[in-house]
Amino acid sequence: MSGASTLVQRFTSLFIIRRDQPELVIAQARALSWQVPLMYVVVLGNAYALAASHLGVAPLWLNMGLPTVLTVVCAFRSVGWLRIGGEDVDPDQAARMLSSTLKTSGVLAALFAGWSLSLYPYGDAYQRGHVAFYMAITVIACIFCLMHLRGAAILVTVIVLGSMVAFFAATGEPVFRAMAANIVVVSAVMIVILLTQYREFADLVRSRVSLLQKAEEARRLSDENDRLANLDSLTGLPNRRRYFAELDARVDAARQSGGGFVVGVIDLDDFKPINDAFGHATGDRLLTEVGRRLTAFDGPPLLAARLGGDEFGLIIDAVLEPDALRKLGRDLCATLNATYDLRGVRAQVGASIGFCPFPSGGETSEQLFERADYALYHAKQSIKGTAVVFDERHEAAIRDMAVVEHSLRHADLESEMSVHFQPLVDIVGQRTVALEALARWTSPDIGPISPDVFIRAAERSGQIVEITRLLVAKALREMRAWPMDVRVSINLSARDIASMENVQRLLDIVRESCVAPHRIDFEITETAIVCDFDQARDALAAFHALGVRTALDDFGTGHSSLSHLRLLPLDKLKIDASFVSDIEHNPASEDIVRTVLQLGRNLRMECVVEGVETEAQRDRVAALGATVMQGYHFARPMPADAVPGYLTGEAVSSARRRRARAADAAEWGGDFCREAG
């Protein structure tokens, strides 16, 4: 029962137009759009040939009348089909055409079969043979032409062959019966082949559709990947990669059009403390809000991107004079400065901005960005929270830097570099407890260069490692002329502690110097720690293992956090001079100095206050509890040969020095070479 019903189902499915598979319907219509007209040509051509062989035999109205009427019908339908082949078919239209062809093919088949059989009684044996031949050959042509519409092909075959077999069986003519049997066998085989072919055709269409769908999906995924690869996942802004791609495109477009635009780099001030104090989730919210404020900024059209950390990039699509640009910078700073409400946490950050306009500031995207970054660096150095526009002065400074880098590369470091020393004074004991070694370089080509300049140049070129080794050796050599209870403090750069090999070389120099390691402090900046925390910790541990102490320089200006202080073996904090310079007028600076001094006491770290220039500053800092200070108020950096005289002139009793020397010798007796006092 169920077998029979599946058979019925399968049979009826042959006559169904698959509107649920629009691609299949369209492919069928495309094939039939020329096969159906071709079929009409064959059917009508053969019909007129049959009519011709019956001219004068059969009545004219029968012989020619029906073919003429059917020619009109076929021509009408052919036009419909040819039109479908010529245009972009929509699936509904195609389905309608298929369905009407399915219906009309049955009617037309019946009419043609009826007409040809109606000629049979009029003809002689040859003409009757022609009728049979016409029906057989035409039905085979129809099966071929209707291959893509199975239902129609089967319908035509069944109607034509059915009537033919029935008719010839009724005539009782054995030859015609045999002919009918021949044609039934051939047609059956052809129908079987047609069904197989059609299945393959439909499968092919379906697999093409699925391939197209897969390709479409792949394209969609790749578009999505592209989008994600170009977006900053936190803020939803374009990321660094996209920013530089946009910058390249702007440069190309502006070169062609002769237009201009401005590159901006923004760095948030004091973002790190907020991150540390309130956690990363709050920090993330703040960055997201910064992104939102930049995107919503009411001003010239701009593209804002997050370049990483708390750094953002801008491309401003407008030509602006420096004054207008500075005004825009002020507005942007004010926008970013407004209080942030971060789910219960109210916070405030400043923003410093560097601008570089195209084409006056630079001509390539690298140059523009580098120069905007340079302007940002200047904003951070001079007045945080402002915007600086790259100009000729900066360009001159860069040129100077290039000259410095060049001279430094060709310098005879051993003879051109020297060390000056600046005392660190204990104001309670009223004596110098240590001297900071400060590098000095006088180039025979360009004269004396500030350490701020040549140290940065050496750090950029990598020469700093060599320079530090040389300066450490020189400083330790000079120490032989100092009292044993006076220490030395030597500055290291990030690169000096960036590998254990560099650290070991420094320790070798200490060992070879015969200076007791406990008389040496190495000063490192917060930047060196933030660069690679684990490496910095290992380096400091190696210094400690030999007895060398460590100090954190310029404390308060960088990005180190309280956890850094806790996790690193640091002995000393040097509170940056910037907090002292305005301590008399800025209560915030006074608070910071007080807090850091308190922090130092809690962490059992010695604190040195740098940059004390006046008596008033000294008193203010002393009132906050500081005991060790450094600054022009006590002494300026002096050449090495001035140090012994300075120390002698200091009102320090020689007896105390002797006592200290004796104590020192007892502690380190025999381990190190005798040091000259």
Residues making contact with ligand C2E (CB under 6 A): 422, 438-439, 450-452, 455, 468, 471, 491-493, 553-554, 577, 611-613, 630-632, 637
Q: Note every long-range contact of 18-21, with CB atoms under 8 Å and residues 24 or more positions apart, other chains counting.
A: 19/91, 19/92, 19/95, 21/205, 21/206, 21/209
Give the CA count within 13 Å in the CB-facing half-sphere of 27: 18
259 contacts: CB under 8 Å, gap ≥ 6: 253, 319
Question: What is the nearest approach in angstroms of ligand C2E to the Cβ of residue 580?
Answer: 8
422 binds, among ligand C2E, Ca ion, none (CB under 5 to 8 A by kind): ligand C2E
> In the bound complex, what is the minimum distance in angstroms from residue 638's beta carbon to ligand C2E?
10
Separation CA 158–CA 188 (nearest Å): 10
Residue 527: strand, helix, or coil: helix
Q: Minimum Å distance from CB 598 to ligand C2E?
A: 22
- Closest approach, Cβ 260 to Ca ion, in A, equals 41
**Measured from the CB atom, is 235 or 491 closer to ligand C2E?**
491
| Chain residues 573-632 in contact with Ca ion, contact rule CB under 5 A | 610
Minimum distance, C-beta of residue 553 to ligand C2E, in the bound complex (Å): 5
Give 283 or 637: the residue with its C-beta nearer to ligand C2E: 637
DSSP assignment letter at 675: P
Q: CB of 596: closest distance to ligand C2E in angstroms?
A: 15
Q: Which is nearer to Ca ion, 465 or 580 (CB)?
A: 580
Interface residue with Ca ion, options 373, 485, 526, 554 (CB under 5 A): 554
Hey, is 448 helix, strand or coil?
A: strand
Stretch that binds Ca ion, among 86-94, 278-286, 306-314, 518-526 (CB under 5 A): 518-526
**Least distance in Å: CB of 370 to Ca ion?**
27
* Closer CB to ligand C2E, 163 or 557, in the complex: 557
User: Is the Cβ of residue 398 or residue 638 nearer to ligand C2E in the bound state?
Assistant: 638
**Interaction residues for Ca ion, span 167-206 (CB under 5 A):** none
Q: Rounded to the nearest whole angstrom, what is the least distance from the CB of residue 441 to Ca ion in the complex?
A: 16
Of these partners, Ca ion, ligand C2E, none, which one is at the site of residue 493 (CB under 5 to 8 Å by kind)?
Answer: ligand C2E
Query: Can you tell me the distance from the alpha carbon of 520 to that of 4, in angstroms, rounded to the nearest whole number?
Result: 102
For 351, 402, 633, the CA distances from 379, given in Å and listed in that order, are 10, 21, 28
Bridge-based pairing state of the strands 340-342 and 345-347? antiparallel
Q: Cβ of residue 474: shortest distance to ligand C2E, in angstroms?
A: 10
Residue list 68-87, contact with Ca ion (CB under 5 A)? none
Q: Choose from Ca ion, ligand C2E, none: what does 621 bind? Cβ within 5-8 Å by kind.
A: none
CA dist list (Å): 445 to 324, 448, 449: 40, 9, 11
Among positions 523, 526, 590, 675, the unique one binding Ca ion when judged by CB under 5 A: 523
CA torsion sign for 17, 19, 20, 21 is positive
Q: How far apart, in whole angstroms, are the C-alpha atoms of residue 15 and residue 10?
A: 10
Q: Do the Cβ atoms of 128 and 26 come closer than 8 Å?
A: no
Shortest gap between Cβ of 575 and Ca ion (angstroms)?
9
- Of 182, 28, 183, the closest CA to residue 113 belongs to 183
Q: Which is nearer to ligand C2E, 42 or 401 (CB)?
A: 401
Window contacting Ca ion (CB under 5 A); options: 43-51, 205-213, 344-352, 548-556: 548-556
Measured from the CB atom, the residue of 492 and 568 that comes closer to ligand C2E is 492
Q: Which two tokens stand for residue 514?
A: 């015969």
CB of residue 250 to Ca ion, shortest distance in Å? 40
On whether the CB atoms of residues 146 and 10 are closer than 8 A, the answer is: no
What's the DSSP call for residue 265? E
Other Cβ atoms closer than 10 A to 491: 22
If contact means CB under 5 to 8 A according to the sort of partner, which of ligand C2E, Ca ion, none does residue 471 touch?
ligand C2E
Site for Ca ion in 480-499 (CB under 5 A): 491
> Looking at this protein, which amino acid is placed at residue 317?
D
Q: Candidates 204-212, 274-282, 310-318, 549-557: pick the segment binding Ca ion (CB under 5 A).
A: 549-557
Partner in contact with 606, chosen from Ca ion, ligand C2E, none, beta carbon below 5 to 8 Å by kind: none
Q: Which of 60, 74, 62, 81 lies closest to 105 in space, CA to CA?
A: 74
In whole angstroms, what is the distance from residue 382 CA to residue 139 CA?
97
Coil, helix or strand at residue 387: strand
Per the CB < 8 A criterion, the answer to whether 438 and 491 are in contact is yes
Q: Residue 124 — φ and ψ, nearest 5°?
A: -85, -170
Taking the least distance from each CB to ligand C2E, the nearer of 365 and 468 is 468
Considering only 232, 526, 553, 675, the residue that binds Ca ion (CB under 5 A) is 553
- Chosen from ligand C2E, Ca ion, none, partner binding at 11 (C-beta under 5 to 8 Å by type): none
Closest CB 422 distance from Ca ion, rounded Å: 9
**439 binding partner (options ligand C2E, Ca ion, none; Cβ < 5 to 8 Å by kind):** ligand C2E
Q: Which is nearer to Ca ion, 553 or 675 (CB)?
A: 553
- For 674, half-sphere exposure in the C-beta direction (CA atoms, 13 angstrom radius) is 3
Cβ–Cβ under 8 Å, residues 80 and 97? yes
**CA proximity to 135, closest of 153, 112, 158:** 112
Segment (H or E) for 666: helix 654-668
Closer CB to ligand C2E, 362 or 631, in the complex: 631
616 and 580 Cβ atoms separated by less than 8 Å: no
C-beta closer to ligand C2E: residue 270 or 613:
613
Whichever of 310 and 523 has its CB closer to Ca ion, that residue is 523
Residues within the interface to Ca ion (CB under 5 A): 491, 523, 553-554, 610
